[in-house]
Amino acid sequence: MYKVIIVDDEMIVRHAVKTLIKWDRFEFAGSAANGIAALELAARTGAEIIITDIKMPEMDGLELIKKLVAGDFRGEVLVLSNYNDFELVREALKCGAHDYMLKLTLKSEAFMAALDEMAAKLDARGHQLAPQGLVKNAAGGERTSLYQLLNRAEHGESIAFNRLTGEEHKGVTGLNGACCYSFAVYAQEEEEQSDIADILDKLADGLFPGKQHGFVIPAGAGRYSLIITVPRSLNPAEPEEVAHRLVKLAEMYYGLHVNVFFGQAATSFEELLLQLRLNKEADELRFYTRYTEGCCSSLPRQSINQEGFHQSEARLRESLRKSGGSAVELWVESSFLLVESAAAHRVPPRTLKRILSGSIWGLSNTTPVRNGQPWNEQVWIEKMEAAESDSGLLLLIKDSSDQLYDVIGRIPAAAAIRGEIKQALSYLEEHYAERVAISDVAAHVGLSEPYLCQVFKTETGSSILTRLNEIRLNKAHEMLASGNYLVKQVAIEVGIPDPFYFNRLFRKRYGVAPKNVKG
């Protein structure tokens, strides 16, 4: 098999080229955004086929070919060009490129024919590579690969670094001068597992064009570990920055909604195992709505100051010193605030549920209930312990209080949050064509962002951003059905100016492309 490197400064082009190749005879060795990164990648991987753009920043394709030839590169180069690049292409062919192809007319059959020609030239030279992935030890046997070790760790096997065999230890000590990123990625779409793994693999290529290794390890329940190693010499980006880009690109290019937990980049196998453990521990935080949108740090929980949460807990206990309807009112308010505080302070959901369950026992001791009125607190305790999200808990708090008001014969005060949610919905209806941030809506209704997100989800059944997109797409459908607007105009008018993203969202909601909507 021949290793192939794809070089282009546009990530979407690198992805497109990769999908054109039938990989039965070829092996993907990585991608790069410029000639400098491609030179390093080619030297490190021993790739023999390089597919490169002509015009790129830092080092263009022509200079890359010259450097390869000067460095005794014995492989083949295929040049990608635009219609106005012929002078550069002619120069590239003189320097030793095998052939060129126009980007706008790339087809899989012609592309594979060019690759097969290059492979035949390499075969004629007898320059076939040994298969990659079988790392040999001194005795000639296979050594455990980094992927195998990570897969074992991800699936619950305890790996003590100091107990690895000599050959295993040799392969991962210090990660051989690399910097290792690890992300826990959660896919929120009903997609095939293999499709999601492939998407994450492609995104990793774009985010880390000079990477040494890229692993996607399925870990069950829509969760994947994405692990990337890159040379420290490349001055890698901060993990948080990479996580935000991963979320944005997954949505933009594939319409895939993911949330990501990230931690510190590791420079040793011990640090990497620790980070994998922290990523797994952060898993239970997805109980809270704020951790299922975007990306969050897998910061160790013991490093979080929970004083604010303890104050909210004390306030909840204080509410139980009242009796009758006033106790119920105070309990509802204090319970809502406790849920918000638990999310902010990364409190384990089981701790939050235990406190709320205990408060229900206390609430059942209010005078009207204690005097024999029928209210089964055990049922509500069991429901709360089984809740799968904080928004589910908020709904249970509200439902249980409504039933308790019936028991004590008092009409509950109108819930203030309902008016605030109505205000939020009105704000979205009025400002959907603008760039709306959750912080804008929260400021308008006078609630904190996390609390607003929780209550909005409880009251409406959807997130703020989901409802905003629904409003925008409904408006878009109305405009398109009128026959008076172009698709591009409509996308801009409803606040989704990216045509690629607009088309993907519209097709997902209505099952047809925007251009096919009829009045």
- Report the CATH number at residue 29: 3.40.50.2300
Do 285 and 193 sit in the same domain of this protein? Answer: yes
Is the confidence at residue 204, as pLDDT, over 80? yes
Q: Measuring CA to CA, how many Å separate 448 from each of 201, 205, 339?
A: 36, 37, 13
In a domain, 260, yes or no: yes
- Which range, of 62-66, 67-71, 196-200, 368-372, averages the lowest pLDDT? 368-372
pLDDT at 127: 42
In a domain, 434, yes or no: no
Split at pLDDT 50, 70, 90, the class of 82 is confident
pLDDT at 354: 92
Do 317 and 350 sit in the same domain of this protein? Answer: yes
pTM of the model: 0.52
Residue 76: strand pairing partners: 49
- Sign of the torsion formed by the C-alpha atoms of 350, 461, 398 and 372: negative
Do 298 and 320 sit in the same domain of this protein? Answer: no
In a domain, 293, yes or no: yes
Do 50 and 187 sit in the same domain of this protein? Answer: no
Instruction: Enumerate the H helices of 209-306 as residue ranges.
Output: 239-254, 269-281
Q: Which of 386, 408, 430 is the last residue of a domain?
A: 408
3-state secondary structure of 86: helix
How would you classify the pairing of strands 178-187 and 258-262? antiparallel
In a domain, 452, yes or no: no
pLDDT at 144: 39
In a domain, 104, yes or no: yes
Is the confidence at residue 137, as pLDDT, over 50? no
pLDDT at 167: 47
pLDDT at 198: 77
Do 24 and 121 sit in the same domain of this protein? Answer: yes
Write the CB contacts of 429 (distance below 8 Å, at least 6 apart in sequence).
471
pLDDT at 12: 84
Q: Which of 302, 320, 345 is the last residue of a domain?
A: 302
pLDDT at 143: 33
Q: How far apart are CA 46 and CA 59, in angstroms?
A: 20
Q: How many CB atoms are located within 10 Å of the residue 60 CB?
A: 19
Is the confidence at residue 128, as pLDDT, over 50? no
Q: What average pLDDT does range 210-224 have in this prediction?
A: 79
Do 113 and 214 sit in the same domain of this protein? Answer: no
Q: What percent of the chain has pLDDT over 90?
A: 13
The owner of tokens 């994405």 is: 226
The number of distinct structural domains making up the chain is 4
Q: How far apart are CA 390 and CA 398, in angstroms?
A: 13
User: How confident is the prediction for the chain on average, in pLDDT?
Assistant: 79
Q: Which of 253, 287, 302 is the last residue of a domain?
A: 302
Contact in structure between 83 and 104 (CB atoms under 8 Å): yes
Contact in structure between 499 and 487 (CB atoms under 8 Å): yes
Q: What digits encode the pLDDT tens for the residues 443-501?
A: 898 888 877 887 787 777 778 888 898 899 989 998 998 888 888 889 889 988 877 77
Split at pLDDT 50, 70, 90, the class of 148 is low
- Which range, of 3-12, 280-289, 324-333, averages the lowest pLDDT? 324-333
In a domain, 383, yes or no: yes
Range of the domain at 376: 307-408
Do 208 and 337 sit in the same domain of this protein? Answer: no
More confident: 163 or 514: 514
Split at pLDDT 50, 70, 90, the class of 126 is low
CATH number of the domain that 512 lies in? Answer: 1.10.10.60
In a domain, 403, yes or no: yes
Do 116 and 192 sit in the same domain of this protein? Answer: no
Q: Measuring CA to CA, how many Å separate 286 from each of 2, 184, 192, 283?
A: 42, 11, 22, 6
What's the distance, Cα to Cα, between the start and end of the chain in Å?
A: 54
Contact in structure between 342 and 285 (CB atoms under 8 Å): no
pLDDT at 346: 86
Residue 101: strand pairing partners: 80
**Could you give the dihedral angle defined by the CA atoms of residues 235, 237, 238 and 239, in that order, rounded to the nearest 10 degrees?**
-120
Do 158 and 296 sit in the same domain of this protein? Answer: yes
The owner of tokens 């790739």 is: 47
More confident: 64 or 222: 64
More confident: 177 or 217: 217
Q: How far apart are CA 345 and CA 193, in angstroms?
A: 33
Q: DSSP assignment, residue 140?
A: S
In a domain, 430, yes or no: no
